[in-house]
Amino acid sequence: MVLTQSEPKYVRNENYPEKWFRVLRAGIDTSREYLGNYGPLCVYIIGQEKDELKSAHVAKKIINAYCRNRHGGSTARMQDCLKQNGASLIERARDGSTEAYLSYVDFTDKPLAELVFINPHGFPMPYLHTRGVHEYAHVFQRAFARTPTWLTEGGAEFLAFYLGDKQEWIDFEKSMKESMRMAKSVKNGEATLIDFEDVEKIEKERPHLKKYYRHLAYDAGAWAVALLIQRSEGRSVKQFTAKFYPLLEEMGWRSAVSRYGGYKDIDAFYDAFAVLMEKSEHEQMKLLRLIKP
């Protein structure tokens, strides 16, 4: 992804209540304003609360737009897309699946980011607002070198809580407290943040730990990012987005984390995180309050 002047492109079925589009766009715009405008980005909002996707015409319009954005000139690929990936979007939406994800398309001349929201009305409010912030944070992250799963999800989640609070959609401290509760619900000795450096590896090698994806990559991850910011020189969220991410390319994520947080190495950071997890709620909240804008 690169910084760009062009606005995100929205594709949606317009007979689905506009409310969901407005909520998601507000989250995405908040995140774009804070992190910068990266792209090119296409946002798909596909949903049905009653029977909006019943019509073949409505479905076809979305599938066509999706495949054209991906494949433009190539007729052969376009045909495949219409039958497979494109059709699958509508099928999942018709089946009532609720999804939000970033897919990064790199077979185009210029890589393209797609944010796909399927049946967003299924997400609990007010967290649908922060879903937009979270997913757009992943678009921003793709402009830099890759990070471990917990840092990718934790970074997006931390920003979603932080910016969501500024917009008064949610309460930052309450959300972080809930994340701590989730992270702490994983039994000692079963798994930690460290196990979620690579979620694909976990899926293959230790599928029984996949059930902690949310607790450890997202919730513990958000706290690990809070620790990193609190330990950094300016303790600033803004500086974290501006100065930490460029370090990744230069030195890789392990050195970037330890350098940015002032730790000897990544193990020292993980040790400090384990200590933080055991602190009292009062101490944990004190850490959050040291974080600056």
Distance in Å, CB of 34 to Zn ion, minimum: 17
Contacts of 31 (CB under 8 A, 6+ apart): 132, 133, 134, 136, 137, 140, 159, 163
Distance in Å, CB of 233 to Zn ion, minimum: 27
Residues that bind Zn ion (CB under 5 A): 153, 156
Integer Cα distance of 96 and 93 in angstroms: 5
Closest to Zn ion by CB, 52 or 135: 135
Contacts of 186 (CB under 8 A, 6+ apart): 192, 212, 215, 216, 220
Closest to Zn ion by CB, 21 or 136: 136
Closest to Zn ion by CB, 151 or 256: 151
Distance in Å, CB of 27 to Zn ion, minimum: 13
Closest to Zn ion by CB, 86 or 221: 221
Distance in Å, CB of 268 to Zn ion, minimum: 27
The residues with which 38 forms a beta bridge, in sequence order, are 3
The residues with which 102 forms a beta bridge, in sequence order, are 115
Closest to Zn ion by CB, 93 or 156: 156
Q: Please say whether the beta carbons of 258 and 193 come within 8 A.
A: no
Integer Cα distance of 50 and 65 in angstroms: 23
Distance in Å, CB of 105 to Zn ion, minimum: 17
Integer Cα distance of 83 and 156 in angstroms: 33
Distance in Å, CB of 160 to Zn ion, minimum: 9
Closest to Zn ion by CB, 63 or 151: 151
Distance in Å, CB of 102 to Zn ion, minimum: 7
Single out the residue of 215, 180, 168, 167 nearest to residue 195, CA to CA. Answer: 215
Closest to Zn ion by CB, 52 or 153: 153
Token pair recorded at residue 194: 């460290």
Distance in Å, CB of 99 to Zn ion, minimum: 12
b (16+ CB within 10 A) / e for 154-168: bbbbbbbbbbbbeee
Q: Please say whether the beta carbons of 102 and 66 come within 8 A.
A: no
The residues with which 117 forms a beta bridge, in sequence order, are 45, 100
Closest to Zn ion by CB, 70 or 131: 131
Single out the residue of 133, 143, 135 nearest to residue 167, CA to CA. Answer: 133
